[in-house]
């Protein structure tokens, strides 16, 4: 299945089901999905799981389902956590800004220092904004 069709499947509740199964790191049953996401019925959970299975993102293993393909556009999976990729850039930019402002501050502030600090601050703010936006979106 193409990436366009995968993107079409990964929306709303189906995305929530996929992220739950991705975080669980073990085979998950339909009832477990229903309880964890407070879905109204097991058939609703089965519907979303079958959509993911048809898209090639899940496979059935001993009656339960397991993620067989990880699709994270703007995120990285570290153990049970899904971390936005921009977080690493934000940490680097904030670290550079802190070093610039504390350790590399000259006695006389020049226009070059001011410009470099302003650019680093703007980059830090942009990466923090993108990190928060990506985190709210849910790792996809």
Question: pTM above the 0.75 mark?
Answer: no
Helix (H, G, I), strand (E, B) or coil at 52: helix
Residue labelled with tokens 């085979």: 27
Euclidean distance between CA atoms 10 and 137, whole angstroms: 12
- Please give the residue range of the domain that contains residue 89: 75-137
* CATH number for the domain harbouring residue 49: 1.10.10.10
With a pLDDT cut of 70, the percent of the chain lying above it is: 90
At 41, give phi and psi (nearest 5°): -155, 160
* Boundary-marking domain end, from 16, 41, 67: 67
* Boundary-marking domain end, from 18, 39, 67: 67
Q: What is the pLDDT of residues 48-68, one digit of tens each?
A: 999 988 888 888 888 888 887
CB 28 within 8 Å of CB 64: yes
Q: What is the pLDDT of residue 4?
A: 61
Mean of per-residue pLDDT scores for the chain = 85
63 and 110 both lie in a single domain: no
48 and 94 both lie in a single domain: no
């Amino acid at each position: 299945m193409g990436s366009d069709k995968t993107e079409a499947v990964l929306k709303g509740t189906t995305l929530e089901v996929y992220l739950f199964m991705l975080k669980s790191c073990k085979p998950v049953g339909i009832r477990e999905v229903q309880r964890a996401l407070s879905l109204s019925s097991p058939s609703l959970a089965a519907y979303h799981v079958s959509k993911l299975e048809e898209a090639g993102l899940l496979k059935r293993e001993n009656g339960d389902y397991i993620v067989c393909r990880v699709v994270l556009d703007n995120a990285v999976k570290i153990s049970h956590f899904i971390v936005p990729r921009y977080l690493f850039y934000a940490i680097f930019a904030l670290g550079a800004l802190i070093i610039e402002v504390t350790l590399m501050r000259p006695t006389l502030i020049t226009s070059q220092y001011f410009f470099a600090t302003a650019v680093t601050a703007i980059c830090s703010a942009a990466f923090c904004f993108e990190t928060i936006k990506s985190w709210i979106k849910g790792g996809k």
